[in-house]
Chains A and B, each alone.
Chain A
Amino acid sequence: MDRRQQKRLIAWLLAPSLVFVTVMGAFPVLSQFVLSFTEFNMKFADERGFAGLSNFAKLAGDAIFRQDLWQTFSFTVISVGLELTLGLAVALLLNRIRRGRTVFNTAIILPWALPTVVAATMWSLILNDRVGLVNSVLGQLGLIEDPIVWLGPGLAMVSCILADVWKTVPFVAIILLAGLKSVPDQYYEAAELDGAGRWQVFRYVTLPLLKPFIAVALLFRTMDAFRVFDVIWVLTGGASRTETLSIYIYKVLFRYSDMGYGSAMTVALFAIVFVLSLVLIRFMRISQDPVSE
């Protein structure tokens, strides 16, 4: 088989997956883009027409969209921030464990392995104001007199973030643990020889070397958190200032069958996540070569 033949074979072998990716990936994204410039409600299909930028003009003046964007942003910043901090702490602990490592690793990954809907339903029971575990423990300890309404006005977002953090800390921890394992022992030994204290080792050796891993975790978690739907849908249905963009988009697309406006919102969400990811990827590049810093 000469080179050309080989190349042709490679092209043929790749063709099916290319077609698959085009049909399943590129086509829906493009058609969503086209739809965002049309007026199209599935219920009134015969009134379909070109809408120009009117969907985007409506978006700019949509107070619900603005509020949901802000809520999504707050959810993302707070939950990802907590997840990275706690995930790092867990990873550092796991890295120090010498005995029973398998048991701990398995235990820590469990929340991540649960389907989100199952985990969220569990939390909705734990946080239930009357029969929930949290209120009954707090009550037994004499810390509260009246039950706290965890999923009601005021605390709803806190509860959603709590459930999301519980679920995704393992993901961050496992990525960071892999990063910690990849740091050669010589670095630590060298630092110790130079008389670095614990904090200094962490600050000047561990953290810089871990940066690419932190960036990966940050990127994945930010993209995921910005599109959050299931945790909040199960816990509050979007009530009490917890509605996120994905929930609003779901309502417009599927409850109101408004494909035009819903697609415009999807395009906007896509653009926001895209820009966010670019920013984060830049951050990742900078830290690609930590030793030269």
Chain B
Amino acid sequence: MQTKYRILLPLISLAVLLAATFWMQPRTMSYFGVNLLFNLAVPIALATIAQMMIIMVNDIDLGMGAFVSLVACVVATFLQDTPVLGTIMLIGLILSYAAMGALIHRLELPAIVVTLGMSFVWGGLALFILPSPGGASPGWLRALMTSKPPLMPMAVVAAILFSIVTHLLIMRSGIGTVLRGVGGNTRAVQRAGWSVIWLKALAYGLAGLFAVLAGMALVGLTTSADANIALRYTLLSIAGVILGGGEFIGGKVSPTGAVIGALTLTLASSFLNFMRLNPDWQIGAQGAILILVLTARLLFAKREART
């Protein structure tokens, strides 16, 4: 029952927002319109999934935006010019994320601080690679991100694909259940004979993998990169996870919800554009929508909150 509620509310908020957008701007109700609305949601959805992997094991990643920016810089330079070296670097970045998870667990460090410190490192490396905005998107990536699949726009196909894959991985598979168990009760998982350090490394590694995919998708859309391109993803991804029904502790996350949360956040800014709101209030209205959706969650989660 509870899992059902968790996914119900994000779905409703997205549906309401989408209906409002269609009502205000009927022309968006087309293949092309929907693609425009959700195009930029693809990298945000991937970053949100990455953040969810970290929140799943009771940690929080304040360096996500800087990391995605770094990936974008690597993709726009090395992956474009020397694909082999670029691929090796991206794999190295994923492994370093896994190592960070292992380190955080082994030395019992606060994740909020380590990821914060690492955000400086990622940001510095990104500046090193790309001191000024530039680079170019590899052709195949550009082609993939601008492809026009039949029936549904690319962004929608991607969103459905991500949520199915991560749902199977996190909610249905054995290892996914154990990973959520780390967030729920680390000691119980340890007593059951699992190596928590490997599980944490796996969770962080998965986060790194999805963050790398986010950076690639971003470059595919923007065709160039700079060191600050995705800094706002840190807060967006956290908001997306929570909007999607996830919770900060207890391994209570929902991959599908996270994807929907990311879509809702992206749609909110388009919606505000259509409202012809004074630009001064755009950001504020986004905050207000966030608060509104989270308040609605209260009505659903009242029973849970009491316990």
Co-assembled chains A and B: no
Q: Which residue numbers of B lie inside 8 Å of A, CB to CB?
A: none
Q: Which residue numbers of A lie inside 8 Å of B, CB to CB?
A: none
